Amino acid sequence: MRLLPNPFSALIIGSSGTIGAAFVELLENNPLCSSVVGIHRHSEHSIDYQDPDSIESCASALSQEAPFQLIINTIGVLHTSSWMPEKKLDDLNAEQLVELMKINAIGPALTIRHFAKLLDPKNSIMVTLSAKVGSIEDNRLGGWYSYRASKAALNMMIKTVSIEWVRTKPNSALIAMHPGTVNSRLSKPFRGEQIGRPALDAVADMFRVIENLKKEDSGSFVSYSGEKLPW
Protein backbone atom coordinates (compact mmCIF):
# COMPACT_ATOMS: atom_id res chain seq x y z
CA MET A 1 0.00 0.00 0.00
CA ARG A 2 1.26 3.47 -0.89
CA LEU A 3 2.21 5.60 2.10
CA LEU A 4 1.23 9.06 0.85
CA PRO A 5 -2.39 9.69 1.82
CA ASN A 6 -5.00 11.72 -0.02
CA PRO A 7 -5.02 14.57 0.82
CA PHE A 8 -1.54 15.27 2.18
CA SER A 9 0.34 18.29 3.53
CA ALA A 10 3.95 18.91 2.58
CA LEU A 11 7.00 20.71 3.92
CA ILE A 12 9.86 21.64 1.56
CA ILE A 13 13.19 22.41 3.24
CA GLY A 14 15.47 24.59 1.13
CA SER A 15 12.60 26.13 -0.84
CA SER A 16 14.67 29.09 -2.06
CA GLY A 17 16.89 26.80 -4.14
CA THR A 18 16.20 25.68 -7.70
CA ILE A 19 14.88 22.21 -6.82
CA GLY A 20 13.15 23.31 -3.62
CA ALA A 21 11.27 26.12 -5.36
CA ALA A 22 10.24 23.73 -8.14
CA PHE A 23 8.86 21.27 -5.57
CA VAL A 24 6.80 24.05 -3.99
CA GLU A 25 5.41 25.04 -7.41
CA LEU A 26 4.64 21.43 -8.32
CA LEU A 27 2.81 20.72 -5.06
CA GLU A 28 0.90 24.01 -5.08
CA ASN A 29 -0.61 22.83 -8.35
CA ASN A 30 -1.29 19.28 -7.15
CA PRO A 31 -4.98 18.89 -6.20
CA LEU A 32 -4.10 16.13 -3.73
CA CYS A 33 -1.80 18.45 -1.73
CA SER A 34 -3.88 20.37 0.81
CA SER A 35 -1.01 22.67 1.82
CA VAL A 36 2.69 23.17 1.18
CA VAL A 37 5.11 25.08 3.41
CA GLY A 38 8.54 26.15 2.23
CA ILE A 39 11.42 27.10 4.51
CA HIS A 40 14.95 28.36 3.87
CA ARG A 41 17.60 30.66 5.36
CA HIS A 42 15.46 33.78 4.98
CA SER A 43 11.95 32.43 5.54
CA GLU A 44 9.83 33.49 8.51
CA HIS A 45 10.92 30.36 10.34
CA SER A 46 14.47 30.13 9.04
CA ILE A 47 16.82 27.17 8.78
CA ASP A 48 20.54 27.66 8.19
CA TYR A 49 23.05 24.84 8.32
CA GLN A 50 25.78 27.32 9.27
CA ASP A 51 23.78 27.73 12.50
CA PRO A 52 22.87 24.23 13.77
CA ASP A 53 20.67 25.68 16.53
CA SER A 54 18.34 27.04 13.85
CA ILE A 55 17.38 23.49 12.88
CA GLU A 56 15.74 22.67 16.20
CA SER A 57 14.23 26.14 16.62
CA CYS A 58 12.72 26.02 13.12
CA ALA A 59 11.22 22.59 13.75
CA SER A 60 9.76 23.82 17.04
CA ALA A 61 8.26 26.87 15.36
CA LEU A 62 6.56 24.70 12.75
CA SER A 63 5.04 22.31 15.28
CA GLN A 64 1.77 24.27 15.16
CA GLU A 65 1.45 23.44 11.45
CA ALA A 66 2.19 19.73 11.89
CA PRO A 67 1.60 16.96 11.16
CA PHE A 68 3.05 16.75 7.67
CA GLN A 69 2.62 13.64 5.57
CA LEU A 70 5.53 14.59 3.30
CA ILE A 71 8.81 16.33 4.14
CA ILE A 72 11.43 16.85 1.42
CA ASN A 73 14.88 18.24 2.23
CA THR A 74 16.60 19.73 -0.83
CA ILE A 75 19.52 21.51 0.88
CA GLY A 76 23.01 20.64 -0.36
CA VAL A 77 26.23 22.17 -1.69
CA LEU A 78 28.74 21.02 -4.30
CA HIS A 79 30.86 24.14 -4.80
CA THR A 80 31.13 27.76 -3.66
CA SER A 81 32.77 30.92 -4.95
CA SER A 82 35.87 29.90 -2.98
CA TRP A 83 36.39 26.33 -4.22
CA MET A 84 35.32 23.66 -6.66
CA PRO A 85 35.23 19.85 -6.29
CA GLU A 86 38.69 18.30 -5.97
CA LYS A 87 40.10 16.70 -9.11
CA LYS A 88 42.99 14.99 -7.32
CA LEU A 89 44.17 14.06 -3.83
CA ASP A 90 46.53 17.03 -3.65
CA ASP A 91 43.49 19.32 -3.85
CA LEU A 92 42.03 17.92 -0.63
CA ASN A 93 41.91 20.44 2.22
CA ALA A 94 40.39 20.48 5.68
CA GLU A 95 38.29 23.62 5.25
CA GLN A 96 36.43 22.31 2.22
CA LEU A 97 35.96 18.85 3.74
CA VAL A 98 34.54 20.25 6.98
CA GLU A 99 32.24 22.66 5.12
CA LEU A 100 30.68 19.98 2.95
CA MET A 101 30.27 17.62 5.87
CA LYS A 102 28.46 20.39 7.73
CA ILE A 103 26.06 21.20 4.89
CA ASN A 104 25.59 17.80 3.24
CA ALA A 105 25.69 15.41 6.21
CA ILE A 106 25.51 17.03 9.65
CA GLY A 107 22.78 19.53 8.79
CA PRO A 108 20.52 16.97 7.10
CA ALA A 109 21.08 14.44 9.89
CA LEU A 110 20.04 16.97 12.54
CA THR A 111 17.09 17.90 10.34
CA ILE A 112 15.93 14.30 10.35
CA ARG A 113 16.29 14.23 14.13
CA HIS A 114 14.26 17.36 14.82
CA PHE A 115 11.79 17.38 11.92
CA ALA A 116 10.85 13.73 12.41
CA LYS A 117 8.66 14.99 15.25
CA LEU A 118 6.53 16.83 12.67
CA LEU A 119 5.70 13.71 10.64
CA ASP A 120 2.24 12.20 10.75
CA PRO A 121 2.56 8.93 12.72
CA LYS A 122 -0.27 7.39 10.67
CA ASN A 123 1.34 7.70 7.22
CA SER A 124 4.30 9.83 6.20
CA ILE A 125 7.40 10.07 4.03
CA MET A 126 10.63 11.97 4.58
CA VAL A 127 12.93 12.36 1.57
CA THR A 128 16.45 13.80 1.69
CA LEU A 129 18.18 14.58 -1.58
CA SER A 130 21.49 12.76 -1.85
CA ALA A 131 23.65 12.05 -4.93
CA LYS A 132 24.65 8.99 -6.89
CA VAL A 133 28.31 10.01 -6.52
CA GLY A 134 27.89 9.30 -2.80
CA SER A 135 27.60 5.60 -3.59
CA ILE A 136 30.79 3.80 -2.54
CA GLU A 137 30.08 0.80 -4.75
CA ASP A 138 29.28 2.93 -7.80
CA ASN A 139 32.43 5.10 -7.54
CA ARG A 140 34.32 4.46 -10.77
CA LEU A 141 35.83 7.86 -11.58
CA GLY A 142 37.30 9.05 -8.27
CA GLY A 143 37.77 12.74 -7.51
CA TRP A 144 35.25 15.02 -5.83
CA TYR A 145 36.54 13.80 -2.46
CA SER A 146 34.63 16.08 -0.10
CA TYR A 147 31.33 15.88 -1.95
CA ARG A 148 31.45 12.10 -2.32
CA ALA A 149 32.41 11.63 1.34
CA SER A 150 29.72 13.99 2.63
CA LYS A 151 26.98 12.29 0.62
CA ALA A 152 28.22 8.84 1.67
CA ALA A 153 28.02 10.01 5.29
CA LEU A 154 24.50 11.29 4.69
CA ASN A 155 23.49 7.96 3.17
CA MET A 156 24.79 6.10 6.22
CA MET A 157 22.81 8.40 8.52
CA ILE A 158 19.63 7.77 6.54
CA LYS A 159 20.11 4.01 6.46
CA THR A 160 20.85 3.89 10.19
CA VAL A 161 17.86 6.03 11.16
CA SER A 162 15.58 3.91 8.97
CA ILE A 163 16.48 0.84 11.04
CA GLU A 164 15.43 2.63 14.23
CA TRP A 165 12.22 3.83 12.56
CA VAL A 166 11.09 0.24 12.00
CA ARG A 167 10.46 0.25 15.76
CA THR A 168 9.61 3.89 16.44
CA LYS A 169 7.90 5.06 13.21
CA PRO A 170 6.61 1.89 11.53
CA ASN A 171 4.26 3.83 9.23
CA SER A 172 6.91 6.24 7.95
CA ALA A 173 9.50 5.87 5.20
CA LEU A 174 12.89 7.58 5.19
CA ILE A 175 14.48 7.81 1.75
CA ALA A 176 17.71 9.07 0.18
CA MET A 177 17.00 10.27 -3.36
CA HIS A 178 19.27 11.06 -6.30
CA PRO A 179 17.69 13.86 -8.37
CA GLY A 180 19.89 13.42 -11.43
CA THR A 181 21.46 16.39 -13.17
CA VAL A 182 19.23 19.44 -12.98
CA ASN A 183 19.73 22.85 -14.58
CA SER A 184 20.73 24.83 -11.49
CA ARG A 185 23.50 26.86 -9.91
CA LEU A 186 24.93 23.63 -8.55
CA SER A 187 25.27 21.93 -11.92
CA LYS A 188 26.02 24.93 -14.16
CA PRO A 189 29.85 24.69 -13.94
CA PHE A 190 29.67 21.01 -14.94
CA ARG A 191 27.80 21.26 -18.26
CA GLY A 192 24.55 21.14 -16.31
CA GLU A 193 22.72 23.25 -18.90
CA GLN A 194 23.75 20.81 -21.63
CA ILE A 195 23.25 17.48 -19.85
CA GLY A 196 20.66 18.38 -17.22
CA ARG A 197 16.92 18.94 -17.38
CA PRO A 198 14.59 21.70 -16.19
CA ALA A 199 13.88 21.71 -12.47
CA LEU A 200 10.12 21.23 -12.90
CA ASP A 201 10.72 18.15 -15.03
CA ALA A 202 13.13 16.81 -12.41
CA VAL A 203 10.79 17.27 -9.47
CA ALA A 204 7.90 15.76 -11.46
CA ASP A 205 10.08 12.66 -11.99
CA MET A 206 10.97 12.52 -8.30
CA PHE A 207 7.40 13.02 -7.15
CA ARG A 208 6.20 10.12 -9.31
CA VAL A 209 8.59 7.93 -7.32
CA ILE A 210 7.66 9.51 -3.98
CA GLU A 211 3.91 9.09 -4.38
CA ASN A 212 4.35 5.35 -4.97
CA LEU A 213 6.61 4.68 -1.99
CA LYS A 214 5.59 1.98 0.49
CA LYS A 215 6.76 1.63 4.07
CA GLU A 216 8.88 -1.34 2.96
CA ASP A 217 10.94 1.13 0.88
CA SER A 218 12.20 2.92 3.99
CA GLY A 219 15.98 2.96 4.15
CA SER A 220 16.33 2.90 0.36
CA PHE A 221 18.63 4.93 -1.88
CA VAL A 222 16.62 5.61 -5.04
CA SER A 223 16.99 7.67 -8.18
CA TYR A 224 14.46 10.01 -9.79
CA SER A 225 13.56 7.13 -12.13
CA GLY A 226 12.75 4.78 -9.24
CA GLU A 227 15.93 2.73 -9.66
CA LYS A 228 17.36 1.35 -6.42
CA LEU A 229 20.96 2.53 -6.11
CA PRO A 230 23.80 0.73 -4.33
CA TRP A 231 25.04 2.31 -1.12
Cβ neighbors of 73 (< 8 A, separation 6 or more) are: 13, 14, 108, 111, 112, 115, 126, 127, 128, 129
Are 177 and 224 contacting, i.e. CB atoms less than 8 angstroms apart?
yes
When pLDDT is averaged across residues 21-30 and rounded to a whole number, the result is 98
CB neighbour burial string for 55-94, b if at least 16 within 10 angstroms, e if fewer: bbebbeebeeebbbbbbbbbbbbbbeeeeebbeeeeeeee
Q: State residue 80's pLDDT score.
A: 82
Architecture in CATH of 8-223: 3-Layer(aba) Sandwich (3.40)
**Is it the case that residue 195 has pLDDT exceeding 80?**
no
**Is it the case that residue 43 has pLDDT exceeding 90?**
yes
Angle at 37 between CA 24 and CA 100, to 5 degrees: 75
Q: Binning pLDDT at 50, 70 and 90, where does residue 158 land?
A: very high
Q: What is the mean pLDDT of the chain?
A: 94
When pLDDT is averaged across residues 146-174 and rounded to a whole number, the result is 97
**Is it the case that residue 185 has pLDDT exceeding 80?**
no
For residue 126, which of 152, 165, 153 has the smallest C-alpha distance? 165
Q: State residue 143's pLDDT score.
A: 95
List the helix and strand counts (H, then E) for the chain: 7, 6
Q: State residue 99's pLDDT score.
A: 95
When pLDDT is averaged across residues 14-19 and rounded to a whole number, the result is 96
Q: State residue 130's pLDDT score.
A: 98
When pLDDT is averaged across residues 99-104 and rounded to a whole number, the result is 96
How far are the Cα atoms of 44, 176, 195, 196, 201 from residue 180, in angstroms, in the given order? 30, 13, 10, 8, 11
Q: Binning pLDDT at 50, 70 and 90, where does residue 189 land?
A: low
Q: What is the pTM of this model?
A: 0.94
**Is it the case that residue 193 has pLDDT exceeding 60?**
no
Distance CA 85, CA 76 (A): 14
Q: Write the pLDDT tens digit of every residue in 107-130.
A: 999 999 999 999 999 999 999 999
Q: Write the pLDDT tens digit of every residue in 172-183.
A: 999 999 999 998
